Amino acid sequence: MNADYGAPTELAGPLQQRRALYQPRLPPCLQGATVRVEYGDATTTIDPTGAHAVAQAFPRTYGQRLVTFLAPDDTAGAGKAVDEVGVVFSGRQSPGGHNVVWGLHDALKAYNPHSILYGFIGGTEGLFANKTLEITDDVLASYKNQGGFDLLGRSIDQIRSSKQVSAAMTTCQNLNLDGLVIVGGVTSNSDAAQLAETLVQKNCKTKVVGVPVSLNGDLKNQFVETTVGFDTVCKVNSQLISNVCLDAISAGKYYYFVRLMGRKASHVALECALQSHPNMLIMGEEVALSKLTLMEVINKICDGVQARAELGKHHGVLLIPEGLIESIPEMYALIQEISILHNNNVPVTEIPTQVSPWAAALFQFLPPFIRRELLLHQESDNSAQLSQIDTEQLLAHLVEAEMIKRTKEGRYKGKKFSSVCHFFGYQARGSLPSNFDCDYAYVLGHISLHMIAAGLTGYMATVANLKDPVHKWRCAAAPLTAMMSVRRHLRGPGAIPIGKPAIHPSPIDLKGKAYELLREKASSFLLDDFYRTPGGIQFEGPGSDAKPITLTIEDQDYMGDIEMLKLYLDKVKTIVKPGCSRDTLKAAISSMISVTHVLTVMSHPLNAELPLYHFN
Ligand SMILES: O=P(O)(O)OC[C@H]1O[C@](O)(CO)[C@@H](O)[C@@H]1O
């Protein structure tokens, strides 16, 4: 274990030091030491047909009510005593994570100056082994508004096996923790829900609170608008991509294939494309929906290269998400077969000989480097190690082969195709977080304390209205079980639920505004070299309050456009009957619009027009 966790960074550069002085903004409701806690509706889940399975798996924490935090008034009761709290980085490093700890610390000390905040050293393994660092003002000083997770470090993103859960519980008991704050993405928050349920069942007093921190931006639902770190990572990557675009157009001889982090969903890739305007973006969700084969994807790219060559352009920039490889149906099937063999402890060297004949044929067709990468052990969510699979190199390799073939057949008459490959992601995880991520994380840290003081367990800290200035942010908490769904067996009648309920990554909403915007611009991006230079993250002055395009555009659509909302309400009336249940109504709304906005829409004043539809 590194003995330097929490040590001051003495060689800080001038920008680093200046950033440490930035004071994140708080909405009015969080500016005092206490808050007023308002309880809303009891929840079910975002997956109505999986509700029963979730209720069964979480008997003690399912169905809890939504909670909103408001500025205190005379009616505000005193919160519970909070003396000891722990915080752990469970997910992957994501810019802004440090500010969750800082926000939690400040709120905790304001609430009870004698309290202690323990940070677990080395992530979840530190939690299991009870390795702590007391978080103080001094410890925090050089980590405020800084990237990475190096204040405490991280290890595996898992608190899942019974051994891990029981080790975590023992630590909570040994430290007499009133609350445990788990910082991470979909996997960490699913585990947080399980830990919360277990602790309630075992009468352990520790309240478990999840905080949505993940660069992937895939922990997104009607309660969570975005995750901490997504904004920064997209800004850093967009700058790198736009640099590459200008490099490409300057020399006019290379195609750059850029793979972006973000796991299964393409949120990072979509946001970066909207910020930097590369020539092509191959989104996993589109490929999966159209069931494009690997060779169809290659042909699509080659058609783009050819169309550009006809305009005399022999350069270009193509973005792909790291999850693309799993979106291609035959690759997904191959990865699944490998995964099953891994789970059955088949030695890696024997896996290629034990897959089905068609999978073996596909495997042999792939270049050796991809074969090796596909055989790597799986991630904690049982998916392939997407960061280690050089899909951009696979595509560049196959595109080159296809362009040579087209040249020989006389179908392509342009210059020789040449590529340069990049994988962007690790470069951004340690970046200085944007003002948005600094504020958002600090606010979530505060909310976490108020959740513990309110005695909430199995909840996630949330903020709504993020597209607005901080003083309009709405601070809330939503039960983790309300965000869960159950993966289904798609074959056979009745879609039998399988797998444990979990919070799953949300894919790009192909009915959403951001995707629509990309589609509108796609042909101009392909042919016009309409590159955009967003530049580096701005911390002061113009651009310093810029937020993700995908966040602001979706909100504008449904919160600002009353006419559109009216149209959409009329449409709802045509597909559900008066008196239908709230869940049916929710499902109907979800089928038409981005799930992120279901609750926004359901709570809109216009819903008064539809009293019979239980829009409350
Ligand atoms: O740091 P590691 O273990 O290589 O993890 C890489 C993974 O983490 C992420 O950066 C964040 O979930 C993914 O995009 C990537 O696949």
pLDDT digits (tens, 9 = 90+) for 197-242: 999 999 999 999 999 999 999 999 999 999 999 999 999 999 999 9
User: Ligand 1 pocket test: which of 263, 326, 388, 424 has the largest number of ligand atoms within 8 Å of its C-beta?
Assistant: 263
207 and 83 within one domain: yes
Neighbours of 505 (CB within 10 A): 22
CA distance 422 to 309: 22
- Closest CA to ligand 1's atom 15: 387
- Which atom of ligand 1 is the closest one to the Cα of 215? 11
Task: Give the pair of three-digit tokens for residue 531.
Answer: 């590159």
Query: Ligand 1 centre and the CA of 387: distance in Å?
Result: 6
217 and 185 within one domain: yes
Q: Is the pLDDT of residue 134 over 50?
A: yes
Burial level of 448, CB count in 10 A (0-12/13-18/19+)? buried
Query: Ligand 1 centre and the CA of 92: distance in Å?
Result: 6
**Which of 537-551, 554-568, 577-591 has the weakest average pLDDT?**
554-568
408 and 263 within one domain: yes
Q: Is the ipTM beyond the 0.95 threshold?
A: yes
147 and 123 within one domain: yes
Q: What's residue 562's pLDDT?
A: 42
- Which atom of ligand 1 is the closest one to the Cα of 261? 14
CA distance 272 to 261: 11
The domain in which residue 581 lies consists of 559-592
Helices (H), 492-534: 513-528
Query: Ligand 1 centre and the CA of 91: distance in Å?
Result: 9
Contact yes or no for 232/434 (Cβ under 8 A): yes
User: Ligand 1 pocket test: which of 92, 190, 373 has the largest number of ligand atoms within 8 Å of its C-beta?
Assistant: 92
In a domain, 499, yes or no: no
Residue-level length of the chain? 616
Query: Ligand 1 centre and the CA of 234: distance in Å?
Result: 15
Report how far apart, in Å, the C-alpha atoms of 329 and of each of 112, 288, 325, 391, 407 are.
54, 7, 9, 15, 29
Query: Ligand 1 centre and the CA of 544: distance in Å?
Result: 27
437 and 426 within one domain: no
With a 6 Å cutoff on the Cβ, whether 262 touches ligand 1 is yes
With a 6 Å cutoff on the Cβ, whether 95 touches ligand 1 is no
In a domain, 167, yes or no: yes
321 and 203 within one domain: no
With a 6 Å cutoff on the Cβ, whether 269 touches ligand 1 is no
In a domain, 352, yes or no: no
- Closest CA to ligand 1's atom 3: 92
Q: Which residues contact 494 (CB under 8 A, 6 or more apart)?
A: none
- At which residue do the structure tokens 């699979």 appear? 389
User: Ligand 1 pocket test: which of 190, 237, 261, 424 has the largest number of ligand atoms within 8 Å of its C-beta?
Assistant: 261
Domain count, the chain: 3
243 and 155 within one domain: no
Q: Which residues contact 300 (CB under 8 A, 6 or more apart)?
A: 282, 292
With a 6 Å cutoff on the Cβ, whether 386 touches ligand 1 is yes
- At which residue do the structure tokens 């991509």 appear? 241
CA distance 104 to 456: 15
Q: Bigger pLDDT: 575 or 369?
A: 369
Q: Is the pLDDT of residue 494 over 60?
A: no
State pLDDT tens for residues 300-339: 999 999 999 999 999 999 999 999 999 999 999 999 999 9
In a domain, 188, yes or no: yes
State pLDDT tens for residues 498-553: 678 999 999 999 999 999 999 999 999 999 998 999 999 999 999 999 999 999 99
Report how far apart, in Å, the C-alpha atoms of 300 and of each of 46, 256, 311, 386, 409 are.
35, 16, 17, 22, 18
In a domain, 369, yes or no: no
The residue type found at 157 is D
In a domain, 275, yes or no: yes
How, if at all, do strands 474-479 and 65-70 pair? antiparallel
256 and 187 within one domain: no
With a 6 Å cutoff on the Cβ, whether 215 touches ligand 1 is yes
542 and 585 within one domain: no
Q: What's residue 575's pLDDT?
A: 65
The enclosing domain of 109 has a CATH number of: 3.40.50.450
213 and 303 within one domain: no
- Closest CA to ligand 1's atom 8: 92
CA distance 391 to 324: 8
136 and 54 within one domain: yes
Q: What's residue 420's pLDDT?
A: 98
